[in-house]
Structure 1
């Protein structure tokens, strides 16, 4: 396998992100895009790594009863089939990288935005309109997630904060579950059209790297500043997005 340093990059990304409860999917995608790997492989790797890193966080959120299923289900029930449809949609490599570049730039902007914590008095109340809105929001992000190969949390979390959807902890729990189910759905979609040219040794090596990094990070509970991590990541994602557009436009 060429570019052995990617393994180290993935291990570090998983270590840092898991230590503060994040998945790191956008950073995996950004790194892979800068190396110009086959686009089918890029999407599959990013989705699998998402599942590996975020599963532990979802378990903890559920165990601590931070998941409000009444609000989560309208988002995820629509997003899962849409993520599958996005994953099985046939697009050319040029179209994929064009969409990826634009997606990474938008994601970088959302990552940079600082959203203030909302108290319970500010949380928007449930209504039929909000349930429909959540369904459309989840469906749109889910489709984009499957198409590009991300979990979608990078879009969902800041949007939910801006909408005063719930408390920051419950939004984080919702985003983690959203990433998990959409990544799994996207993986199933990708498996319907696997390429024989894929480097399965590279895929397994990167999965092992994020598993090790994620396990170490989640157990060390380091006192990273989440805002600093988000903004450093935003710069990386922005550079990757611009680089992809310059290369493939």
Structure 2
């Protein structure tokens, strides 16, 4: 019955992905580490999931003409270079049994930064990068996205979207569409590199993709229940939960890490069900 569990797990990841607009890899990588999978297998499988979940979103934004193709080409080219820099580094670290702690520390730093941006009110700040050509900025963004994608087994969209909005002044819809079109090629490059050099659990990846295809539409519909402020708070809380699970894994407290993620998931669905019931009661009254 393991296949049923992983389809169920994929559906839960899909719900969070559809609700928050994030790639599934950012949730899957810490989970598979908690389950005891080797880091290289974890990253390859997570990239496979990210590739599957990104295709549908990119196609939808292609039909809505939300993709800036000239920037996609630049970000793709730089991103593929970034993945090729990250893959040998990760394999080198795994040979010395340093991969898991490196992944964990990267997660703690990046998710800590994004959690604070979601939960703490931001003051207006002057842009860090000034007077640089947009295409050069796109190159740096692509390099960063590719490196992060291959190091952590994520799509890189959670990095790309805020960078495109803040540094290149993209409208949010254009940023999401351009990001999705870019990460397909970036993730594919990283996935191929890992699958050639390390074993990838294709069966597990396929089961998870099936689950996400079931869960993603459900998560997208659930966004109607929440305000934008509530969604930002929940996303920041999810990042904190993932950080805690990563720390728990480093301390060999895998059961505690899984319990915390499970509690957050149950609370999320309880809140959603409560809001849905209250809305139905109001409609009848």
Alignment of 1:40-189 (within 5 A): 40-89=40-89, 90-93=91-94, 94-112=97-115, 113-114=117-118, 129-163=133-167, 165-189=169-193
Counterpart pick for 1:238 among 209, 234, 243: 243
Larger Rg: 2
Give the stretch that moved more between structures: 139-148 or 25-34. 139-148
Count of residue correspondences: 241
Query: Which structure shows the higher helix fraction?
Result: 2
Give the TM-score, by structure 2 length. Answer: 0.71
| Contiguous gaps of at least 5 residues in structure 1 | 117-122
| CA-to-aligned-CA distance 1:100-148 (integer Å, 9 cap, x gap) | 11221123124321399xxxxxx9xx97633212202211331231133
Q: CA deviation at 1:221?
A: 6.4
Q: CA deviation at 1:234?
A: 0.7
Q: Equivalent residue for 1:227?
A: 232
**Residues 45 and 202 of structure 2 are in contact (CA less than 8 Å); yes or no, is this contact kept in structure 1?**
no
Instruction: Compute the RMSD of aligned alpha carbons.
Output: 3.3
1:53-108 Cα shifts (integer Å, max 9, x gaps):
12111111111111112333322221023214423442243321122112211231
Q: Residues 2 and 75 from structure 1, CA distance in 2 versus in 1: closer, same or farther, beyond 3 angstroms?
A: same
- Report what 2:37 is aligned to: 37
Cα offset for 1:173?
Answer: 1.6
Matching residue within 211, 214, 218 for 2:216: 214
* 8 Å contact from structure 1 (residues 111, 230) kept in 2: no
| Structure 2, unaligned runs of 5 or more | 122-126, 253-285
Q: Deviations over 1:184-227 (max 9, x none)?
A: 111110111133xx655433322322233235545x46425542
